[in-house]
Chain A
Amino acid sequence: MAVTSVPIPAAAAAAAPRSRYRSAVQLATLAVVAWLAITWLVGLRQGLLFLVGIGYGAVLAGVSFGFTTGWRIWIRDRDPTGFLAQFLAIGLAMLVSIPLIATHPELSGAVAPVSISVVIGAFVFGLAMQIADGCGSGTLYKAGLGNGFALTVLPGFVVGSFVGALHLDRWLALGALPPIALTDHLGVAGTLIAQSAVFAVLALWLWRRRRATQTRWKGRAVYAGAVLLAVFAVLNLVIAGQPWGIVYGLGLWGAKIATALGMDLTTNAFWGRAAQQAQIHAPVLTDVTSITNFGLLAGAMIAATARGTACPPPEAQRASQWIAAIVAGLALGYSSRLAFGCNVGAYFSGISTGSVHGWIWFAAAFAGSLLGVRLRARLRLGA
């Protein structure tokens, strides 16, 4: 995102960081109040997950850890930094998560079917996330910061995610294999070695083809952020019993709104299941995915305020760009349900818990991003 350089008077420049930190402390105080309220009203587990969500948001916004941007910067500038940080985060989370899941049946991985819908959904998601300049996590936290473009994408994301789940059975009818966990075939050690080797080969390939390394991320902060993301991902698994996810929560919000508007979802293949019906009628604060989403919003707000990046300039200026935001939002939501997750639920959590669908998602979404980066330039949506 381009930031215009404006001369600031010396007194104002000295006051600006103090003012920012004061605002960040005020927001952090509000977050503590929210955490206490959640813990009191819902329970300790949801309170802890809210804190984990704050951690995700603070890291993502604090070091500008962008999944979408990382891919785009590689495609455009051949800077592998974003990709390497993602591999580090996923790899570290994997080293702890896979052995934990293998030895504790009460924990579940993000293991989804390998289907035609995953390939199509991930391709469309990869394309749309470059138009929207945000994946699941990015759209959510930018919307919370008041970014007009992300605020236009988010409602579409919610609607698309809800409708995608509504149509999921028809997409699976096109062809699907059962969920494949690599640990069932290679064992724990075999999976860790195989996945680490793939990451190492990919990282080496990206590094050898680099043309730059400091285009967006300076220093090692992004790698420190990757380590912290891995820590929070493991905490998510240990506390919730399942890995980090984003879009299920967005779809659930859509299902709740649809139900409140009188729509009967009891006969639907996905939303009609007993577990989903119970979740639709329970308070949204009891849903583990929603609670980390809310925490992510709060954490990103605090970190961005402290950094002075909480008021990004609006990216879209022309009608075609606003239309692109609405369409991209719908596509992001719909495709992420077909693909059994976004960059977080499928790519990060799928791979870090040994699901084959995570790797297929990665390949198909990257192919979509190659096209999406070109489309983004054509729509003049900025760097």
Chain B
Amino acid sequence: MSAAPSRLKQARAAGRSPEARIRARWRPLVFAAIFWALATLLLTLDWRHATPHNRFDEPLPWQLGHEKDGEAGHCAAPLTR
């Protein structure tokens, strides 16, 4: 019960309408929740529809000192190599 008046006081102190202040406070949380929910959904869909991945056929934990295995994508990779 005490949280709501406190928020209203804060909103008035900030010189904005209480409703606008509360909306501004919650909007990023809602946006972040939507973003992460969508990202999780897309990752799950991608995992289910992609070529099956064999986790036992993985390269060694780090590349240094081991033979290069395949080409990984990078922003600076030229068109032809």
Residues of chain A having any CB pair with chain B under 8 Å: 4, 6-9, 12, 40-46, 48, 100, 104-108, 110-113, 143-148, 151, 168-169, 172, 178-179, 237-243, 245-249, 252, 256, 260, 269-270, 275-276, 279, 281-289, 297, 301, 310-314, 336-337, 340-342, 344-346, 349-350, 355, 357
A111–B81 Cα distance when bound, in Å, is 11
Cβ-defined contact, B43 with A242, below 8 A: no
**Contact partners of A345 in chain B: CB under 8 A:** 74-76
Residues of B in contact (CB 8 Å), total 46
Residue from B6, B31, B53, B65 in contact with A283 in the complex, judged by beta carbons closer than 8 Å: B53
Residue of B nearest to A283 (CB): B50
A149–B14 Cα distance when bound, in Å, is 22
Cβ-defined contact, B61 with A239, below 8 A: yes
Cβ-defined contact, B31 with A147, below 8 A: yes
Residue of A nearest to B55 (CB): A43
Residue from B31, B62, B66 in contact with A146 in the complex, judged by beta carbons closer than 8 Å: B31
Cβ-defined contact, B74 with A148, below 8 A: no
Residue from B50, B58, B76 in contact with A43 in the complex, judged by beta carbons closer than 8 Å: B58
Cβ-defined contact, B27 with A148, below 8 A: yes
With A4-B14, A145-B32 given, is the CB distance from A246 to B61 under 8 Å?
A: no
Residues of chain B having any CB pair with chain A under 8 Å: 6, 9-10, 13-14, 24-25, 27-33, 35-36, 39, 43, 46-47, 49-51, 53, 55, 58-68, 70-79
Chain B nearest CB, measured from A87 CB (Å): 20
With A110-B75, A311-B28 given, is the CB distance from A43 to B47 under 8 Å?
A: no
Cβ-defined contact, B14 with A346, below 8 A: no
A245–B77 Cα distance when bound, in Å, is 10
Cβ-defined contact, B43 with A289, below 8 A: no
Chain A nearest CB, measured from B58 CB (Å): 3
**Contact partners of B27 in chain A: CB under 8 A:** 146, 148, 314
**Contact partners of A40 in chain B: CB under 8 A:** 55
A4–B24 Cα distance when bound, in Å, is 12
The 5 closest A-B pairs by CB, nearest first: A146-B32, A241-B63, A345-B75, A43-B58, A146-B28
Residue of A nearest to B64 (CB): A238
With A275-B70, A283-B50 given, is the CB distance from A151 to B35 under 8 Å?
A: yes
With A44-B61, A45-B60, A260-B49 given, is the CB distance from A289 to B76 under 8 Å?
A: no
